[in-house]
């Protein structure tokens, strides 16, 4: 499945990276000027101040790659210290690499960071959702990559010694470069031991509730530590960064398996169908035998095991399916693991989910009844506030859209939009295509909010369906068959 994506990228003649993919050692991209203009959302260089963890994954013309690390921003445009770890599915690694750099943050929350290390320079554009979080994409070295920046509060090296259960999500490729996805519940105990259960989908072979075991080291002052996890697909070694006791970012250091992901501390459980009830929005993506697949939709858990009022939009490798209704059933275990069967006109799809809380789950598509269909998808599902109106969405929002433009290659964008409460968006975005970097692009758009949270709009020239999670968080999926884009709008705080 990975080969489908890389063959598309080769059509646009992306330059081959030297060294570790994503490490930036070729330095072929000049550093563009920082963002200017845009709406005044109250941000500045001082908005990025303190310790942060960042995580990035993507592809270049040679490999898939993933990067995680931490850095210290001084609030005045300098990254004074940091560490990053880079791995590729070709076996390339640059681990525990010291970094420094510079950054700039514009008034609308758009920013740019340049990180320098021994393997080279990498340039990221980002948009801040708040001083604690941002979405980013890479604009250097002909690489398509997206990620996130999350503030790292003070913690001690004993932060993981207390018994805590984390819901983990992993994406990547197996030793044959086939698409892999996993979610599970893992308990960290006594500062060294991992136990739990993992559901894996390896190239459309589903391994349900495999007993995962392993170990981990205490994090250093940077939050960096190591872990080992044994699952149905073998023993996997990880570098992790502790964002806080509630969040871990991680990548595998195995040369025969390529994995990246995160883990959120489980805060509450709705362990029965009666307790796990209400309106939900899901956002998932992955691959099937045709190519890339994106799905965004909403449903109601009725409290007696049925899915009602369910509808979704999905794009399967350039074939767009609009307003697709479905029904289904679900069941829930006492540990927060739930399963669902989604029934469509001519097929069914199986979900497995793990609750971080009743308001947030990680989701894995575990199978389909279509012969030789072969699907691997992961994503999230979140509790939905319904009954909102267009007037409920007002103020400054951080925007990100990413995905594949058929016959052109991958495209990433991020920006700021001011929503006026009457259905109009005005703002500025930055984007990267396979052939160009586009900065300070003034854009407009529109939106509406229906009673069930699903409606239509535009982000610049991109037509989208809008799914409101709540007034602060909106999922987006492009309705243009040629644009396999997903993203979101998040209220800037």
Predicted pLDDT at 286: 94
Predicted pLDDT at 118: 93
Where residue 464 falls among pLDDT bands split at 50, 70, 90?
very high
Confidence check: pLDDT of 371 > 60: no
In a domain, 109, yes or no: yes
**Residue 176 CB neighbour total at 10 angstroms:** 10
Predicted pLDDT at 434: 79
Where residue 374 falls among pLDDT bands split at 50, 70, 90?
confident
> For the whole model, what pTM was predicted?
0.93
Can you tell me the distance from the alpha carbon of 426 to that of 459, in angstroms, rounded to the nearest whole number? 9
Predicted pLDDT at 11: 27
Its domain, for residue 78, covers: 2-151
Where among 151, 174, 206 does a domain terminate?
151
Contact 197, 184 (CB under 8 A): yes
Mean pLDDT of 130-149: 90
Q: Give the DSSP letter string of 382-421.
A: EE---S--GGG-EEEEEEEEEEEETTTEEEEEEEEEEEES
Is 199 found in the same domain as 310?
Answer: no
Predicted pLDDT at 18: 27
**DSSP class of residue 32?**
P
114 closest CA partner among 141, 94, 87: 141
Predicted pLDDT at 2: 45
In a domain, 196, yes or no: yes
CA atoms within 13 A on the CB side of 366: 21
Predicted pLDDT at 182: 96
| Span 202-237, pLDDT tens digits | 999 999 999 999 999 989 989 999 999 999 999 999
Confidence check: pLDDT of 159 > 80: no
The answer to which of 7-21, 138-152, 399-413 has the lowest mean pLDDT is 7-21
Is 350 found in the same domain as 292?
Answer: yes
In a domain, 170, yes or no: yes
Which tokens go with 367? 């199978």
Predicted pLDDT at 156: 65
The answer to which of 143-157, 305-319, 339-353, 424-438 has the lowest mean pLDDT is 143-157
Is 348 found in the same domain as 372?
Answer: yes
How high is the mean pLDDT of the chain?
Answer: 90
Which CATH number covers residue 132?
2.40.160
Mean pLDDT of 158-180: 89
Which CATH number covers residue 205?
2.40.128.120
Confidence check: pLDDT of 323 > 60: yes
Confidence check: pLDDT of 23 > 90: no
The percentage of residues in the chain with a pLDDT greater than 90, rounded to a whole number, is 80
What's the total number of domains in the chain? Answer: 3
Is 294 found in the same domain as 186?
Answer: no
In a domain, 122, yes or no: yes
Cβ burial, residue 467 (10 Å; 0-12/13-18/19+): buried
Where among 383, 409, 430 does a domain terminate?
383
DSSP run (H or E) holding 82: strand 78-88
Is 6 found in the same domain as 104?
Answer: yes
Is 33 found in the same domain as 172?
Answer: no
* Better pLDDT: 374 or 451: 451
DSSP run (H or E) holding 6: helix 2-11
Is 377 found in the same domain as 286?
Answer: yes
In a domain, 218, yes or no: yes
In a domain, 362, yes or no: yes
In a domain, 421, yes or no: no
Mean pLDDT of 78-93: 96
* Better pLDDT: 260 or 434: 260
């Amino acid at each position: 499945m990975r080969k489908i994506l890389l063959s598309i990228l080769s059509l646009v003649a992306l330059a081959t990276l030297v060294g570790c993919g994503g490490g930036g050692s070729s330095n072929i991209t000049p550093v563009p000027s920082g963002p200017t203009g845009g709406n005044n959302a109250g941000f500045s260089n001082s908005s990025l101040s303190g310790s942060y963890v960042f995580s990035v994954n993507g592809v270049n013309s040679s490999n898939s790659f993933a990067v995680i690390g931490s850095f210290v921003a001084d609030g005045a445009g300098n990254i004074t210290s940091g560490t990053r770890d880079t791995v590729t599915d070709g076996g390339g690694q640059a681990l525990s690499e010291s970094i420094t750099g510079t950054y700039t943050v514009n008034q609308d929350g758009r920013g740019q960071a340049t990180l320098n290390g021994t393997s080279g320079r990498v340039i990221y554009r980002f948009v801040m959702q708040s001083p604690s979080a941002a979405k980013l994409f890479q604009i250097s070295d002909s690489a398509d990559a997206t990620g996130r920046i999350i503030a790292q509060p003070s913690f001690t090296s004993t932060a993981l010694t207390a018994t805590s259960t984390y819901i983990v999500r992993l994406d990547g490729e197996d030793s044959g470069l086939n698409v892999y996805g996993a979610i599970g519940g893992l308990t960290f105990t006594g500062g060294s031991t991992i136990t739990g259960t993992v559901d894996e989908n390896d190239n459309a072979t589903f391994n349900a509730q495999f007993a995962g075991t392993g170990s981990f080291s205490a994090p250093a002052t940077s939050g960096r530590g190591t872990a080992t996890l044994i699952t149905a697909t073998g023993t996997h070694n990880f570098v992790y960064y502790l964002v806080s006791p509630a969040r871990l970012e991680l990548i595998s250091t195995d040369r025969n398996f390529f994995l990246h992901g995160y883990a959120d501390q489980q805060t509450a459980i709705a362990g029965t169908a009666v307790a796990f009830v209400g309106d939900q929005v899901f956002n998932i993506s992955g691959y099937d035998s045709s190519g890339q697949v994106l799905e965004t939709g909403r449903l109601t858990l009725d409290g007696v095991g049925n899915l009602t009022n369910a509808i979704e939009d999905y794009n399967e490798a350039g074939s767009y399916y609009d307003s697709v209704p479905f029904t289904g059933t679900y069941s829930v275990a006492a540990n927060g693991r739930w399963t669902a069967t989604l029934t469509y006109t001519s097929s069914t799809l199986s979900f497995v989910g793990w609750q971080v809380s009743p308001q947030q789950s990680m989701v894995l598509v575990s199978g389909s009844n279509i012969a030789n269909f072969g699907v691997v998808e992961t994503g999230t599902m979140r509790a939905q506030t319904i009954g909102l109106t267009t007037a409920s969405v007002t103020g400054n929002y951080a925007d990100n859209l990413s995905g594949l433009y058929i016959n052109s290659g991958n495209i990433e964008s991020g920006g700021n939009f001011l929503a006026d409460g009457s259905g109009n968006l005005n703002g500025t975005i930055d984007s990267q295509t396979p052939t160009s970097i586009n900065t300070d692009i003034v854009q407009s758009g529109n939106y509406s909010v229906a009673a069930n949270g699903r409606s239509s709009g535009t982000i610049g020239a991109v037509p989208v369906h809008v799914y409101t999670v709540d007034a602060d968080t909106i999922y987006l999926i492009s309705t243009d068959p040629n644009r396999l884009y997903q993203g979101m709008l998040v209220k800037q705080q």
